[in-house]
Amino acid sequence: MCCVTTVSSFLSIKFFLSHLLQIEVQKRRLLFFTYIRNLNSKCCARVVVGSFRITHQFLPMAKVLAITAISVSIFLIATVIVLDVYEIDHVKDSEHLSPWLSCKCVDESRQENFGEMSHNLFHTLKETSVTTNEAITNIAFYRKLMRKRVGARDGKKTDISLISAFEYPQQINVMITSIAKYGDKIYCRYFDMSMQEIGNPFESVVFPEYTVMCLRREGARFMSLSDTLSGEYEYPVPITVRTQSEPAHFFSICLAPIYGTEPKWLHLAELVEHYKIQVPAFYLGATHFYMYSKYIDEYSRILLDDYVRTGDAEIVILHDRFERKDDRWQSMEIQECLNRAQGHSRWVAFVDLDERLTPTNYSGTLRSYLENMADDKIGAVQFRQRWILKNETLPERYTDSTQIASWMPTRRYHNTSHVGPVGHTAKCIIDPKKVLIMHVHYVNAFYEGYTMYRMRPEEGVVRHYRDVNSGQWGKIWLKEVEGMGNFSTTDYPAKWANELLTRVQRRVHYVYGAEIRK
């Protein structure tokens, strides 16, 4: 009886495993143990009862118990042997499981829920699965870049500090402000709407800098990270969904971090209205602005808030538990904005507050230029610089429309440098789905198959209204710029000058005009 029961159990397991081979390795393992849990409860009972019935008639009770225990052990050993055989024969590729590849993302504590639904195991698996894919893609490509430390930043290593998380069709990218954690092992932690952790942590690494790639997980609404598998995690951040089939915006701006004490309101209004001209309002998906603020004066903040109110902009506040210089925020902002724009904007420009990407001899707008590019392999367009020297501090407050006409940088300053050399402090418009790692002035790494187009000065340039009194620029960099060629007098394009003035006057008066009338 004991042998018959054991063999019967063995054949039942083997039949079940033939169906398990049709599904993924990790889910197969979970489902197998679920099945065994239920099967054991029945078969072990049969083994115990059968053994007892046979032996109690011939042997003392002590021997009956011993034989019963041996029978149960034989059954369990048979189970393990079957599992090992199927794992060896059909899961040979599992040896590649490692950070990014292993689906260490099913909460084993939830296995108990499977027992009550063993009548329909495949239906159970579908309902309780917590992942949507089994591995981070492009692993070989990422490892190649990591070995070369592409995009790595130096500095004193800091602890984990989260800023955002973005869900894409293939994965979730968690963004951190932490310094010098490139290549560190790290664990993704998933939370539902009730802030209850979902499943086991997923092992990953910090790559690119400031970025942690995690598998998607069903039900996850917040993400956190920890340095160890079971260690304390940071305060979770909400997941921003970027799985839409079409981006909401065609052309957007990633604005470098705002900091410093100089009033920003006039620069800010001119920047926004300049780029809104480049994407006329009647186009679907007007220009959007991703703005990053470390510090902005209260007066200028009023204008910034108004652009947020009307849907033109969103603000990311840059704050950390670790000290760093204000100008050290830009490398983090660039990578965060690259991820923020992915799936949300078709093209995005990385610029400073005083920079205006401007078509020159090209007759259309920036949008029309991007729309007419026929080569799908182009992942970025690079603009060369021209510096327009600015040597005054802009007004602290708005007075009237005449003041705007007199002080707008595009109208007030004209002393213009020669075009900078190729790649020298250039600025880029990029397709965020084609760029993996971004630098201030160029692309660090494209996804495979994409490349850069370097725009000729005859097509367009960066008009950079550079304050020569800011920092050490006038003492250190001005001589280098003078060495590039002769300066000349240039103007902002006449075809847009009046419209830009009108737009800035209207917006600034709308925001600050009531204060003037008091």
Tens of pLDDT along 436-446? 999 999 999 99
Residue-level pLDDT at 16: 44
Regarding whether 445 and 316 lie in a shared domain, the answer is yes
Regarding whether 223 and 257 lie in a shared domain, the answer is no
Across 134-152, average pLDDT = 91
Across 313-322, average pLDDT = 91
For residue 267, being part of any structural domain is answered with yes
- Distance, in Å, from the CA atom of 504 to the CA atom of 272, rounded to the nearest integer, reads 9
Instruction: Single out the residue in 219, 241, 263 at which a domain terminates.
Output: 241
Closest C-alpha among 97, 111, 93, 82 to residue 15: 82
For residue 160, being part of any structural domain is answered with yes
172 and 216 Cβ atoms separated by less than 8 Å: yes
Regarding whether 176 and 68 lie in a shared domain, the answer is no
Length of the chain: 518
Which domain covers residue 258, as residue numbers? Answer: 249-517
- Residue 421: asked if its preceding bond is cis (omega within 30°), the reply is no
What are the backbone angles phi and psi of residue 353, rounded to the nearest 5°?
A: -60, -30
206 and 222 Cβ atoms separated by less than 8 Å: no
For residue 206, being part of any structural domain is answered with yes
Residue-level pLDDT at 33: 43
**% of the chain surpassing 90 pLDDT:** 65
**% of the chain surpassing 70 pLDDT:** 73
For residue 186, the surrounding DSSP H or E stretch is strand 185-191
Residue-level pLDDT at 40: 44
Higher pLDDT: 32 or 209? It is 209
- Please enumerate in sequence order all residues whose Cβ is within 8 A of that of 51, keeping only pairs 6 or more positions apart, or say none: 1, 2, 64, 67, 68, 71
For residue 74, being part of any structural domain is answered with yes
Strands 237-241 and 162-167: parallel
| Stated pTM of the model | 0.75
Residue ranges of alpha helices (H) inside 185-320 are 265-278, 298-309
- Distance, in Å, from the CA atom of 51 to the CA atom of 68, rounded to the nearest integer, reads 6
For residue 279, being part of any structural domain is answered with yes
Residue 513 is classified by DSSP as H
249 and 285 Cβ atoms separated by less than 8 Å: yes
Regarding whether 390 and 274 lie in a shared domain, the answer is yes
Cα 194 → chain centroid? 23
Please tell me which of 89-93, 102-106, 231-235 the model is most confident about, judged by mean pLDDT: 231-235
Across 443-457, average pLDDT = 97
Regarding whether 149 and 38 lie in a shared domain, the answer is no
Torsion of CA 317, 320, 324, 326, to 10 degrees: 10
Residue 84 tokens read as 């090992």
Residue 285's pLDDT band (cuts 50, 70, 90): low
For residue 431, being part of any structural domain is answered with yes
Regarding whether 296 and 217 lie in a shared domain, the answer is no
Regarding whether 148 and 203 lie in a shared domain, the answer is yes
Got the DSSP string for 449-479? Answer: T-EEEE--TTTEEEEEEEETTSTTHHHHTHH
402, pLDDT greater than 60 = yes
Instruction: Single out the residue in 186, 219, 241 at which a domain terminates.
Output: 241
Higher pLDDT: 61 or 416? It is 416
342, pLDDT greater than 80 = yes
Largest CA distance in the chain: 113
Residue-level pLDDT at 307: 98
Mean of the per-residue pLDDT values of the chain: 81
Closest C-alpha among 110, 152, 23 to residue 437: 152
Regarding whether 436 and 293 lie in a shared domain, the answer is yes
Regarding whether 210 and 61 lie in a shared domain, the answer is no
Regarding whether 460 and 375 lie in a shared domain, the answer is yes
Closest C-alpha among 85, 73, 84 to residue 6: 73
353 and 444 Cβ atoms separated by less than 8 Å: no
Query: Which residues make beta-bridge pairs with 489?
Result: 415
Instruction: Single out the residue in 213, 241, 269 at which a domain terminates.
Output: 241
Total domain count for the chain? Answer: 3
For residue 222, the surrounding DSSP H or E stretch is strand 222-226
Q: Is 138 exposed, middle or buried (0-12, 13-18, 19+ CB in 10 A)?
A: middle
447, pLDDT greater than 60 = yes
For residue 133, being part of any structural domain is answered with no
Regarding whether 346 and 393 lie in a shared domain, the answer is yes
Regarding whether 296 and 213 lie in a shared domain, the answer is no
Across 394-413, average pLDDT = 97
Residue bearing tokens 């600050």: 512
Task: Identify the CATH number of the domain in which residue 187 sits.
Answer: 2.60.40
Residue-level pLDDT at 328: 84
Other C-beta atoms lying within 10 Å of the C-beta of residue 471 = 12
